[in-house]
Amino acid sequence: MENDNSTVVKEFILLGLTQSRDIQLLVFVLILIFYLIILPGNFLIILTIRSDPGLTAPLYFFLGNLAFLDASYSFIVAPRMLVDFVSEKKVISYRGCITQLFFLHFLGGGEGLLLVVMAFDRYIAICRPLRYSTVMNPRACYALLLALWLGGFIHSIIQVALILRLPFCGPNQLDNFFCDVPQVIKLACTDTFVVELLMVFNSGLMTLLCFLGLLASYAVILCRVHGSSSEGKSKAVSTCTTHIIVIFLMFGPGIFIYTRPFRAFPADKVVSLFHTVIFPLLNPVIYTLRNQEVKASMRRLFNQHIA
């Protein structure tokens, strides 16, 4: 007799973003154009920060890492989705699905923690300026970077460990354009109530707590800035406003997807599209467009190469 806990499903069929060929073609063209324009912009941000000696402050160090994380994150889903748009058979192997799920939560969890670190950096810079150089020294910055990578790994490995314990022996159609926890769990040949609760706790609760904590921290920072009369007041407000925009872009879809029972909603695929493809590429660009130092450095870099 076959072991009930064995996984016999070797591949999953992705139903995709939509069944309409016309809509698929339109989305394919739009995302491809967006991808080819914005992705090089992220690498330009990294190159600019790495090559300009004037951009050595912790803020730019973490911004460069955000651009790297987001560029890496965009490679997990978008390229395969673009290929699937022009493919008749949209299939991903069981191992490929688990691998995609791991890196999705590894980089996504790391990015969420990076935003927490960036909030801490702004708090020290604005509320404790005299201690900033002591607290945010290079060693501390690298330690925080290592901690967020480790945190993302632990978060993701818990997700994968819970999935690997589930038996998949029947249906193998994933109603999405990529592998993620809510859709994969629903295909398991067992009661998944406890696993869903653990997943909601690991992903949903962590996302919600980070979101609320970040909003509270920036509220404190903005109140402190509002009560000051320093020359850098407008710059501090601009920086914090940019961070808050990215926090909503990053955590909003995550809260919608992971903090509720894993039931399908009509908006799930659209929210997932923005969460995994659009917003990750936009985040560093939003930071850069509102940062005069980075924009000035980009112009200098561009002029050096055309001179």
The secondary structure of the chain, three-state, reads: CCCCCCCCCCEEEECCCCCCHHHHHHHHHHHHHHHHHHHHHHHHHHHHHHHCCCCCCHHHHHHHHHHHHHHHHHHHHHHHHHHHHCCCCCEEEHHHHHHHHHHHHHHHHHHHHHHHHHHHHHHHHHHCHHHHHHHCCHHHHHHHHHHHHHHHHHHHHHHHHHHHCCCCCCCCEECCCCCCHHHHHCCCCCCCHHHHHHHHHHHHHHHHHHHHHHHHHHHHHHHHHHCCCCCCHHHHHHHHHHHHHHHHHHHHHHHHHHCCCCCCCCCHHHHHHHHHHHHHHHHHHHHHHCCHHHHHHHHHHHHHHHC
**What is the pLDDT, as a whole number, of residue 1?**
38
7: left (phi > 0), else alpha (psi -120 to 50), else beta? beta
Number of C-beta neighbours around residue 275 at 10 A: 23
Q: Span 157-173, mean pLDDT?
A: 90
**What is the pLDDT, as a whole number, of residue 300?**
83
> What letter represents residue 2's amino acid?
E
Q: How confident is the model at residue 262 (pLDDT cuts 50, 70, 90)?
A: low
- The answer, yes or no, to whether residue 51 has pLDDT greater than 70, is yes
Q: Span 169-190, mean pLDDT?
A: 88
Phi, psi at 189, each rounded to 5°: -90, 50
Residue 6 resides in a domain: no
**What is the pLDDT, as a whole number, of residue 232?**
63
58-95 as b/e, with b when 16 or more CB fall inside 10 Å? bbbbbbbbbbbbbbbbbebbbebbbebbeeeebebebe
**What is the pLDDT, as a whole number, of residue 109?**
92
How do residues 57-115 score in pLDDT, each as one tens digit? 998 999 899 889 988 988 898 888 888 888 888 899 999 999 999 999 999 999 999 98
Residue 5 resides in a domain: no
Residue 103 resides in a domain: yes
Residue 86 resides in a domain: yes
Q: Span 185-194, mean pLDDT?
A: 88
- How many whole angstroms separate alpha carbon 49 and alpha carbon 190? 50
How do residues 132-152 score in pLDDT, each as one tens digit? 999 999 999 999 999 999 999
- The answer, yes or no, to whether residue 212 has pLDDT greater than 60, is yes
Number of C-beta neighbours around residue 135 at 10 A: 14
Q: Span 253-259, mean pLDDT?
A: 88
- Average per-residue pLDDT for the chain: 86
Residue 161 resides in a domain: yes
Residue 2 resides in a domain: no
Q: Span 185-192, mean pLDDT?
A: 89
Show the domain range for 266.
Answer: 11-306
Q: Span 260-284, mean pLDDT?
A: 81
**What is the pLDDT, as a whole number, of residue 266?**
76
Q: How confident is the model at residue 7 (pLDDT cuts 50, 70, 90)?
A: low
Residue 219 resides in a domain: yes
Q: For the chain, how many structural domains are there in total?
A: 1
Give the Cα-Cα-Cα angle 45, 291, 293 (nearest 5 degrees): 80
- The answer, yes or no, to whether residue 3 has pLDDT greater than 50, is no
CATH of the domain at 137: 1.20.1070.10
The pTM score is 0.88
**What is the pLDDT, as a whole number, of residue 2?**
44
Residue 3 resides in a domain: no
- The answer, yes or no, to whether residue 264 has pLDDT greater than 80, is no
Nearest to 259 by CA among 181, 195, 207, 189: 207
